[in-house]
Structure 1
Amino acid sequence: MSIVTRSRRIFSIVLKSNKNPRLYSSVTANPPKEPIISSSILGDQSASSPPPPPPPETAAATKGGGPLSSFLKYSLAAAVTGGLATAGYATYAYSLEEIDEKTRGLRASANVSVGDDLSSFEKFQAMLKSTAMTVPAKLVELYLDLRASTEEHVRGFTEPLSEKLLPDLHPQEQHVFTLVLDLNETLLYSDWKRDRGWRTFKRPGVDDFLEHLAQFYEIIVYSDQQPMYVDPIVDRLDGKHCIRYRLSRAATRYQDGKHYRDLSKLNRDPSRILYVSGNALESCLQPENCVPLKPWKCEADDTALVDLIPFLEYVARNRPADIRPVLASYHGHDIAKEFIERSKEHQRRMQEQKRPGGLWRR
């Protein structure tokens, strides 16, 4: 085979291989150009990046407003704190009337009149003083108004609902004594058990006690329970209507976490009021009018109410000018038992006086 024939064959094979994609060589004479990031583009990116953070002092000044702003902020906080502390102490230490009296001069200093006969400098001083005292005076007036409204609102929950809890006595009954009775552990006892719930028991002798003393006294029930409890209980307890009036929790005075009976609000002469309760001294603001009674805890053999009838009848019949000294003479004693002892002693002395010469043996 000649050289020319071999060359033609080799050339034809090369041409066939170029037409077959599988045999396409990855090396070309003119390879594709890769994208190049120029230095100018890199320079533009660095120019558009955020500026470096400012120094610490500059950042603090921009955020807080500088030393002057911080000083004003802390001064305002100190002034508010001092004002609240002063108001709290004044509320604790002084009454509203005392604060009004003590701050009267301060409030008057804000209303300084500038006379025409004053010099320009004196007028300036007066105006400066009035301006400087205006804010404290207004704050004091605001405090007085807020405290007055708050105390009036609180008084609605702590004070009895009226200055006169009972209507006026009839003119023909001005001599009648008022017998104030508690409910719980005095006339009755309420008990709760899981198997039966609440049950209320009448104290032994309560019917005779009410029916007999209603002839001599104006009988009032004064309880610290809600009306929804007092009214149905009294309706069932007092079938013969011996109790004239009933007072519930709204008529009590709330003090030191307890509801007290305030006999001064009954619209009755305090020298003619007797308060009978199993917890008399702990539930009444007028201990001089109290008739302590043994609390009743459902004892079946209790006779405390019946034993007290002779003393109460004696008081109603003899009408002492003031019952309070009489009750004070029984202080520390069981009134029912002590009254019986004194009655026996009085009868013994009367019998001795009736004997011949008995007036001389004292």
Structure 2
Amino acid sequence: MASTVVRSRIFSIISRNNKPNRRFFCSNKERIISSQSTIPDQSAAAAAAEEAPAQASGIRENKAWKFFKYGIIGALTGATAFAGYASYAYSLDEVEEKTKTLRESVNYTASSDASNVEKYQGLLYSTVMTVPAKVVELYLDLRKLLEEHVKGFTEPASDKLLPDLHPAEQHVFTLVLDLNETIIYSDWKRDRGWRTFKRPGVDDFLQHLGRFYEIVVYSDQLSMYVDPVVERLDTNHFIRYRLSRSATKYQDGKHYRDLSKLNRDPGKILYVSGHAFENSLQPENCVPIKPFKIDETGDVPLDTALLDLIPFLEYVARNSPSDIRTVLASYERRDIGKEFLERSKDYQRRMQEQRQQGRLWRR
């Protein structure tokens, strides 16, 4: 019986020793699973490690490109701002004079007796200054082209709007007449179109003064309007020349009559206009006259402004003052027709008094 108890104990010990260890298997299994799960992570880390230099180089290239791009934009912006300031502050001749040294620096050469270092420095200086000099030359060329293009719209078509005066007529004065609101009145409305009225006395005015003056019509209207109006107005051809908008100077949004371009002696030019001082660049040559207008009814008002001006203009033509500008300045922009009439009456009265005094002395 004792042996039986001993055998049962031995069997229990052996069976306990031969029982599988679950903890060992579970731990090994977890280790295997965990080791398998780390394999993909290690490959991703390796790929990330390989991609890191490429990303870094891409970032450096992107920064370099941005720096280059913004540098170009900044340079162009600065050049544009400088060109705008130079165009505003300086004329073309002034810019050419101020940049003369810069443009000539491209052709710099060291003297023949200079050292090799000095020659190298001169070559380097010439090379470095090539780009700025070329930019300045490009700016000057573009500005010349632009100013010539703008000049075609703002300046008179020619520096000599009239042909040379015949040598036998060098003493003749030039009478420049404005067209609208001076010798005619013209307006346009949608319901009736154009209407044009002659100023009272314009026919007698042209016929009488055509014997003394070279008469010129100077208007800011287009030639397609001026030519047919003048042809119908002046059937006897007392008006020698017609100047339209292309002969005016466009300035500050307005077309001005530039009498200096007429190719005539400034001391022998008279400009008659209802808006003389507003339309002309030479106020010293202006003869103001009351503007001529028609109301909506179309009734022509009683107007003698042109006829009142004939005595003064005839007096000037017969006496030929050396400079008409001095004569016009004495009227101080007043109504010359009426002022001349008053002066004539005062002169006749003084002459009559002198004659009467002479008769008294003779008695």
Which band: TM-score by shorter chain? 0.7 to 0.9
Does residue 249 in structure 1 map to residue 250 in structure 2?
Answer: no
In 2: Cα distance, 1:221 partner to 1:346 partner: 33
Q: Identity of counterpart residues, as a percentage?
A: 68
* Contact 2:205/2:306 (<8 A) preserved: yes
Residues 70-125 of structure 1 show CA distances to partners (whole Å, capped at 9, x for unaligned) of: 22222222111111111110011111111111111111222221334333322222
Among candidates 162, 166, 173, match of residue 166 of structure 1: 162
| TM-score for the superposition, normalised by structure 2 | 0.80
Which residue identity is paired with 1:313? E
| C-alpha distance in structure 1 between counterparts of 2:196 and 2:52, whole Å | 78
| More displaced 10-residue stretch of structure 1: 218-227 or 349-358 | 349-358
Shifted more, 84-93 versus 190-199: the winner is 190-199
Per-residue deviation at 1:359?
Answer: 11
Is 1:303 matched up with 2:304?
yes
The Cα offsets for residues 7-52 of structure 1, whole Å up to 9 and x where unpaired, read as xxxxxxxxxxxxxxxxxxxxxxxxxxxxxxxxxxxxxxxx9xxx99
The residue identity in structure 2 corresponding to 1:181 is L
- Distance, in Å, in 2 between the alignment partners of 1:358 and 1:129 is 95
Matched, 1:314 2:315: yes
Instruction: Give the alignment of 1:1-362 within 5 angstroms.
Output: 62=58, 65-298=61-294, 299-356=300-357
CA shift digits 1:54-84 (9 cap, x unpaired): 9999768637824333222222221111111
Between 277-286 and 118-127, the greater mean CA deviation after superposition: 118-127
Deviation at 1:166, TM superposition (A): 1.1
Q: Is the 8 A contact 1:64 1:70 kept in 2?
A: no
Residues 84 and 195 of structure 1, relative CA distance in 2, 3 Å threshold: closer
Partner Cα separation in structure 2 for residue 172 and residue 103 of structure 1: 50
Report the secondary structure of 2:127's partner residue.
Answer: helix
Distance in 1 (CA, whole Å) between partners of 2:65 and 2:344 is: 87
SS of equivalent to 1:198: strand
Paired with 2:72 and 2:239, the residues of 1 have a C-alpha distance of 63
Structure 1 position 310, deviation (Å) = 0.9
Q: CA deviation at 1:259?
A: 1.1
| Residue ranges of structure 2 left out of the alignment (5+ in a row) | 1-42, 295-299
1:255 maps to a residue whose letter is Q
Structure 1 residue 357 displacement after superposition:
5.7
Q: Distance in 2 between matches of 1:64 and 1:287?
A: 69
Moved over 3 A (4+): 54-61, 357-360
Task: State the SS of the aligned residue for 1:320.
Answer: coil
The corresponding residue for 2:19 is none
Partner of 2:27: none
Q: Deviations over 1:328-362 (max 9, x none)?
A: 111131111110111111111111221236999xx
Shift in Å at residue 170 of structure 1? 1.6
In structure 2, relative to structure 1, the CA distance for the partners of 1:307 and 1:88 (3 Å cut) is same
Give the TM-score taking structure 1 as reference length: 0.80
Q: CA deviation at 1:208?
A: 0.8
For the residues of structure 1 that align with 2:206 and 2:79, how far apart are their CA atoms?
Answer: 59
5+ residue gaps, structure 1, are 1-46
1:324 alignment partner AA: R
Greater helix content: 2
Residue 356 of structure 1 aligns to a residue whose secondary structure is: helix
Q: Which stretch has the larger CA shift, 62-71 or 334-343?
A: 62-71
Contact 1:60 1:66 in 2 (8 A): no
Contact 1:177 1:273 in 2 (8 A): yes
Residues 122, 231 of structure 1: alpha-carbon distance in 2 compared, 3 angstrom cutoff: same
Look up the equivalent residue of 1:72 and give its one-letter code: F
Name the CA distance, whole Å, in 1 between partners of 2:261 and 2:360.
47
Q: Cα distance 1:322–1:358, how it changes in 2: closer, same or farther (>3 A)?
A: farther
1:99/1:60 Cα in 2 relative to 1: closer, same or farther (>3 Å)? farther
